[in-house]
Amino acid sequence: MDRFLGSKKLHNTIVIEGDELNHLYAKRVKVGQKIEVFLEGRLYLCILEKLAKSYAYCLIEKELDVYIPLPIITLYQCVPIELKNMDLIVEKISEVGAFKLVPVVSSRSFQNIQVIKKRIERWKRIALASFKQCKRPKPLEIGEPVYLKDINADAELNLFLDSFEKGIGIKDLKLDGVKTINLIVGPEGGLSVKESEFLKGLGFFSVRLYPYVLRSETASILGVGLLMNFSIQHSSTYRD
């Protein structure tokens, strides 16, 4: 079923306007057709009631239950020097099932935190477009940027990807029943030895992807995708 973003709610009707209305026209949705509409963090099953030049009215049939597949993965991504590579990371980790992305400033990452902050709205828009395409239950959350030194090992399983060590692989991890995972991925130049020792001191385990050294963005997408697929608990999902 096609999914659209609403712009406001009037009683039991959601209004679609602007670019989303163009999208509705492009998809050739007809009056009377059922569609999903997302507004203010909620997903609704609606019927397209009226289609005009500058707006569409969608009658709410019901609010849809939202089940988030476990584990809840937060990707701490050291921001690539090639800042535009974050666009790809946002789109793809949204598709493979990360719950949240936190941009990280590390010694070899992109450094300017103000510039990173200015990109957050763009990354949220990419996350919303991906949410519509891949039909995930909620858009990927984008957190405020943090410095690597301020990250906490506050998930049930705390991991970082390290291409230097011949460490354990993802299939060797005990993932049964794990509900929350933090995953840190280094920038193009990797994490420094000091940073990797610091993370181990905090309680993060280093994990290796085999067989080769990957680009940062490939490592993030594969890392989240493998963790999700090896540990997804199909029968027990978490309702937000």
- What is residue 6's three-state secondary structure? coil
Stretch near ligand SAM under the rule CB under 6 A, chosen from 23-31, 43-51, 86-94, 181-189: 181-189
Nearer to ligand SAM, 66 or 83 (CB): 83
Nearer to ligand SAM, 14 or 221 (CB): 221
> What is the C-alpha to C-alpha distance for residues 202 and 189, in angstroms, rounded to an integer?
22
> What is the C-alpha to C-alpha distance for residues 135 and 128, in angstroms, rounded to an integer?
10
Nearest 5°: phi and psi at 144?
-70, 150
How many residues in total does the chain contain? 240
Q: Give the shortest CB-108-to-ligand SAM separation in angstroms.
A: 8
Which residues lie below 8 Å from residue 99, measured CB to CB, with a gap of 6+?
A: 68, 72, 73, 74, 140, 141
> Per-residue x/- marks for ligand SAM, 207-226, CB under 6 A?
-xx---xxxx--x-------
List 100, 188, 205, 238, residue binding ligand SAM (CB under 6 A): 188
Nearer to ligand SAM, 139 or 190 (CB): 190
Given a contact cutoff of 8 angstroms between Cβ atoms, the answer to whether 185 and 223 are in contact is: yes
Residue whose Cβ sits closest to ligand SAM: 186
Going by their DSSP bridges, the two strands 13-16 and 56-63 should be labelled as antiparallel
Strand partners, 185: 77, 161
Given a contact cutoff of 8 angstroms between Cβ atoms, the answer to whether 201 and 30 are in contact is: no
> Per-residue x/- marks for ligand SAM, 140-179, CB under 6 A?
---------------------xxxx---------------
Looking at residue 23, what DSSP letter applies? Answer: H
List 14, 170, 191, 226, residue binding ligand SAM (CB under 6 A): 191
Q: Residue 35's closest CA among 55, 61, 53, 9? A: 61
Q: Give the shortest CB-227-to-ligand SAM separation in angstroms.
A: 13
Size of the site for ligand SAM (CB under 6 A): 17
Nearer to ligand SAM, 14 or 226 (CB): 226
Stretch near ligand SAM under the rule CB under 6 A, chosen from 48-56, 61-69, 150-158, 189-197: 189-197
Nearer to ligand SAM, 21 or 181 (CB): 181
Q: Under the rule (CB under 6 A), what is the footprint of ligand SAM? A: 161-164, 185-186, 188-191, 208-209, 213-216, 219
